[in-house]
Amino acid sequence: MNTVPAILVLGLAAGTACADLVDPLVPDWRGDANAEYAGWESFTNANGGPNFPEEGSGFSLFNFGPGGIIASSGNLYGAGGPLDIHVYSDGEIAASQAVLSFSFLGTPMDTSNVRAFFEGGFVDPLLSELRSEQDFGGFIKQTWSFLFDFSNLSGTSSSVAFFFDSGDLANTSLDAVSVDVLAVPGPGALALLGLAGVASRRRR
């Protein structure tokens, strides 16, 4: 019986990538003045070092799982253990909503254990959705999106973090990640909005 060596199969999974999110949930407020966005389509640090976004800014991504490597495709690959991904904001945000999206191949991410952290507590997603599934010759790529609601904490500024992992399993290949966070306008901005409303009514 002829078998493909396991290391070759795992190498194929690590190197297979489209380096993008497929049909992710994109909030209609992306690009607004009070919105933050960061996106990664390749990675540079596999074990505890920061990965800075290629698009947008304001966040850094880390893998704290053991045995991570950067594949030739630029994917972050859990060759020697599970991936344990943390995404941290660089500063404080008065967050009201957030959308996290990621795509992966190989061993699936544990999509039931995706959480945000804001104002001293963990927040579960309001919505989790499989947005795309593609078959690359037996290697399945999935894109997932998660919607978080921080409205009960609105007005409070704090750092924002997101956590997801592949449980206890190795051989997950992280392909791409994006983070969108909508902030509540500060008091000055709200006052300006109120004045704009008054001016608009006076013109009628």
The residue assigned the tokens 């500060």 is 186
- What's phi and psi for 172, nearest 5 deg? -95, 135
Q: Which percentage of the chain shows pLDDT scores above 90?
A: 75
pLDDT band at 186 (very low <50, low <70, confident <90, very high): low
Instruction: Please check the confidence at residue 11 and state whether its pLDDT lies above 60.
Output: no
| Mean pLDDT across 26-52 | 97
pLDDT at 197: 43
Q: Which percentage of the chain shows pLDDT scores above 70?
A: 80
pLDDT at 152: 77
| Mean pLDDT across 99-110 | 98
pLDDT at 103: 98
DSSP per residue over 112-178, as a string?
A: GG-EEEETTEEE--SEEEEEEEEEETTEEEEEEEEEEE-GGGTT--B-EEEEEE-TT---EEEEEEE
pLDDT at 136: 83
In CATH terms, 16-199 corresponds, of 1.10.287, 2.130.10, 2.60.120, 2.60.40, to 2.60.120
The radius of gyration computed from the CA coordinates of the chain, to the nearest angstrom, equals: 19
Tell me if 45 sits within 8 A of 77, measured CB to CB.
no
